[in-house]
Chain A
Amino acid sequence: MSSKQTADTELVKRAQAGDKRAFDLLVLKYQYKIIGLIGRYVKDSHEVMDVSQDAFIKAYRALDNFRGESQFYTWLYRIAINTAKNYLLAKARRPFDGDVASSDNVGEHGQYDQVDMIADSATPANLLVRDQLHEQIFATLEKLPIDLKTALTLREFDGLTYEQIAEVMGCPVGTVRSRIFRARAAIDKEVERILGHRS
């Protein structure tokens, strides 16, 4: 695998060059994390979507300032937190004195602890679909052939690279790649079915 680099780096580079499709892939990739993050600050689910949208637009406009000195997602998180904070200030719903000095705060204790309690606007319908997806994904994972299941779990739960997984499983890297995508494809069939029924 020559000239391999992180997908984020390449996608950001392309987005900086004006490729909106690259930015779209980044939005699709990080939307769940950003929605979850902003949902800790903003209670109403519609407002969560509005603020999340605003955060991504601000990120796009500020892409030129991203120098790659930090990971893209930590940079994005910081924008999202500041967007949520400004939103709350503008709405005067909640005094927010904390300053987001570092993206390192993301996911840590402190500010989040103050707002976690306000953020749970899950509807019964959302929870049902979420539960269905959760149940089906893990059930499908359990039913996968052992080689596929092992490869995928080493990747998703243990964060190993393909090369490391190949070493663990004693097979070529190409085989690891194939096993992982076949495992994902099998799970995706079920996810697609559930989301399809829902729509």
Chain B
Amino acid sequence: MYTLNKAKTSSLLIDDIVSAVMDDEARDLELQQLLRISDDTAVRERWTRYQLTRAILQRDLPTCTSVSHLELADRVQSVLADDTVPAPASVLRWLSQWLQPITGIAVAASVAMVTILGAYNIGLMDTYSTLTVHQEGIVLVEPNSNKNLQLASSAFGTAPAPQATAQVLRLNQPLVQSTAPLHWQVKSIPAGFSLLQQQVDELDPGQRENLIYSNGQIMFNLIIEPLLGRQIAEGHTTVGADLVLGRSMQVGDQQLFVTVVGQLSLDDAELMVASLSPL
């Protein structure tokens, strides 16, 4: 199985995937991987050069314009980045139909909760934020805290604070780690990911468990709630870079609705949902 880690994806592996996608010979997962890393300049350029090469081999390259091959796509991308360009209407229609019945779940808010900042030098972080060492290589930054940098940096480990680097996740709201016991466990977790946060909301009856996983670079939510006799359409779509998957399922004598939101492949999301079991 190919790694999903952009930084570790080798050049040859990218060549292989790009080449197969060009020929409609790639697996779904590989296409998803390409999409996930397609904002990487090197990958984007490679995809474009491969298309350029094909155009030349097939004598399809126009003479009427520059071979500055990223210019047009950059311009299109720039316009599309403008909020005035509406997303295809189908997204909003589909999401509104699907997500509305899920009471109390603000999926968009869940996705927006964490902003991935990437690798940062700890010494350069805001001093008014809380830096929490979650696990090796991952540091959480919480807003509006008086804890100082030195305290957090010292918690980072033995490395001197100014030189220490890690993947930093900036939380848009304070970290709330629920103490309520979880009722469900996920046995199949994508390689490299670990449980970052768990939230439990009491329902009547039952409870909703919101599990947040991260590998330090990307994250996703898995939300488990009782179906309670509701009819909720299942399906999946993507919103930007995020997958949204909804599945109703029967585990033992309980009917559940499971929602997965975030940057992971459909295959991984389906595997996680399928591996759900009671604790």
Report the nearest A residue to B67, measured CB to CB. Answer: A129
B47 within 8 A of A: yes
A90 at the interface (CB under 8 A from B): no
Q: Are A32 and B51 in contact, CB atoms less than 8 angstroms apart? A: yes
Number of A-B contacts (CB under 8 A): 209
**For residue B71, which residues in chain A have a CB less than 8 angstroms away from its CB?**
49
B155 within 8 A of A: no
A18 touches B15 (CB 8 A): no
A10 CB to nearest chain B CB (Å): 5
A181: B residues at CB distance < 8 A: 15-16, 18-20
B residues near A52, Cβ cutoff 8 Å = 72
Residue of B nearest to A9 (CB): B24
- B73 CB–A CB distance under 8 Å: yes
- Whether the Cβ atoms of B67 and A53 lie closer than 8 Å is no
Give Cα distance in the complex from A48 to B35, angstroms.
28
Closest Cβ–Cβ distance, residue B87 to chain A (whole Å): 4
With beta carbons under 8 angstroms apart, the residue of B62, B90, B238, B240 that contacts A32 is: B62
B159 within 8 A of A: no
Given A16-B88, A156-B57, A191-B53: A126 and B35 within 8 A (CB)? no
Instruction: Give residues of chain B (54-79) contacting chain A, Cβ–Cβ below 8 Å.
Output: 54-58, 60-67, 69-73, 75-77, 79
Q: Is B6 an interface residue (CB 8 A)?
A: no
| Cβ contact within 8 Å between B80 and A57 | yes
Tell whether B38 is near chain A: CB-to-CB under 8 Å: yes
Query: Measuring CB to CB, which residues of chain B are less than 8 angstroms from any residue of chain A?
Result: 12, 15-16, 18-28, 31, 34-35, 38-39, 44-58, 60-67, 69-73, 75-77, 79-81, 85-91, 94, 237-241
Top-10 shortest CB links A-B? A36-B62, A39-B64, A181-B19, A122-B63, A32-B55, A64-B88, A18-B91, A18-B87, A17-B238, A63-B88
Q: 22 A-B residue contacts at CB 8 Å?
A: A4-B25, A6-B24, A7-B26, A11-B31, A17-B88, A17-B238, A17-B239, A19-B240, A21-B38, A22-B35, A27-B72, A28-B44, A31-B51, A32-B52, A35-B65, A48-B65, A61-B85, A122-B63, A133-B67, A177-B19, A184-B53, A188-B49
